[in-house]
Amino acid sequence: MAKAFPNTGVTTGLAADRTAMTGMTAGTYFYETDTKKTFVYNGSSWVEDNNYNLTYVPSFHVTGNGGFVTVAAGAAAPFNYINMDTGSNFNTTNNRFVAPVAGIYLFGVSMYSNGSCSMCFAKNGSQTYQTADLNPLMTAPSTPTGLTFGSSIILTLAVNDYVDVRSRNLQSSGIYIPHSSFWGYLIK
């Protein structure tokens, strides 16, 4: 038997209880105690709400090992050392974070340059903005080396969208990967 959760607007019960409910107001939430999933009524049907079904918040912090590296034009920076990865969503083989659920994510990066360096965030293999002046672009001149710079970005991702940090399409970049890091987490 479904019952209202006091002062929250959330009803709880079994999956069968939810499917039997009719005439609900759009925006009504239902938590299935047997499947541990949350649904929201959109005015005509129940839709699973993944933002409330997680038992963890997808998040990661990665860096690299191996010293100075040159990242080819358009290639992802080689973040191959995981400091933290809640949910195992960062792949060190292709240096990508893959979104396990749709939502709004915050990403950040800190780079230690080794000569000329021009990096950007990329979503699904493309720079997040194609106009460099609008891109959360991170650049360092060829001299002096050893400059540290960083940036952050908020992106809306669908399930299986991926994000990486890469050298801009027309320029290779030199970085000291052990002193560079990439991080992100689900906001909502």
Tell the burial category of 12 from Cβ atoms under 10 Å away from its Cβ (0-12, 13-18, 19+): middle
Burial class of residue 51 in the structure, from the number of CB atoms within 10 Å of its CB (0-12 exposed, 13-18 middle, 19+ buried): middle
- Based on the domain organization, do 96 and 45 belong to the same domain? no
Using only C-alpha atoms, what is the Rg of the chain? 21
For residues 153 and 84, membership in a common domain is answered with yes
- Whether residues 20 and 86 share a domain: the answer is no
Indicate whether 32 and 87 sit together in one domain. Answer: no
The rounded mean pLDDT for the chain is 78
Q: Are residues 140 and 80 in the same domain?
A: yes
CA 124, chain centre distance (Å): 12
Residues 70 and 150 in one domain: yes
- The CATH number of residue 30's host domain is 2.10.10
- 104 and 150 both lie in a single domain: yes
64 and 48 in one domain?
no
Domain that holds residue 7: 3-52
Q: Band the pLDDT of 4: cuts 50, 70, 90.
A: very low
Residues 136 and 43 both lie in one domain: no
Using pLDDT thresholds of 50, 70 and 90, give the confidence band for residue 21.
Answer: confident
The phi, psi pair for 115, rounded to 5°, reads: 90, -155
Residues 84 and 107 in one domain: yes
Instruction: Read off the pLDDT band of 137 (50, 70, 90).
Output: low
Which amino acid is present at 136?
A: P
Q: How many domains does the chain have?
A: 2
